Amino acid sequence: MNINLTIFGQIIAFTFFVVFCMKYIWPPITGALVERKKKIAEGLDAADRAQRDLELAQEKAMSDMRKSKEEAAAIIEQANKRANQIVDEAKEKAREEAARLVTAAQAEIGQEANRAKEILRAEVAALVVAGAEKILEASVDANAHAQLVEKLAAEL
């Protein structure tokens, strides 16, 4: 409990520690704290920016997707239209072809019928002459009545 020189020893030691602390301990550590604070602020800023960027990107992606969908729909519509057109064209061509075939067939039929008529006509003429010969029992001058027979045959 004696007061003595220890007081001065303490004052000297205390002064030394305070000065050392002030020069070599406090500044670097608080400097680091301040720097970290800044870093954190920057990090938060960057995070905010990234969030905004993300939102923008999402918006853009959405609009892109919508546009693509529209494009796809348009392409599909066009394709459908084209397909219909092709089908229509094909139908048209088929119809024309059918008409042509029908016409050709009809022409052939007509020809055949004409030929058949010719043949028939010839045969009928012969038959008529033969029939008439039989009916008359007399020979008929084929040449003399040819004009008449032919007139008959033409009526067939």
Q: Which residue ranges make up the site for another protein (CB under 8 A)?
A: 1-11, 13-18, 20-22, 24-26, 28-33, 35-36, 39
Rg of the chain over all Cα atoms, to the nearest angstrom: 60
Shortest gap between Cβ of 40 and another protein (angstroms)? 9
Taking the least distance from each CB to another protein, the nearer of 26 and 123 is: 26
Taking the least distance from each CB to another protein, the nearer of 2 and 147 is: 2
Taking the least distance from each CB to another protein, the nearer of 17 and 146 is: 17
Taking the least distance from each CB to another protein, the nearer of 30 and 84 is: 30
Q: Backbone dihedral region of 2: left (phi > 0), alpha (psi from -120 to 50 degrees) or beta? A: beta
Contacts of residue 120, defined as CB under 8 A and 6 or more positions apart, other chains included, come to: 156
Taking the least distance from each CB to another protein, the nearer of 30 and 103 is: 30
Question: Which pair of tokens denotes residue 110?
Answer: 């007509």
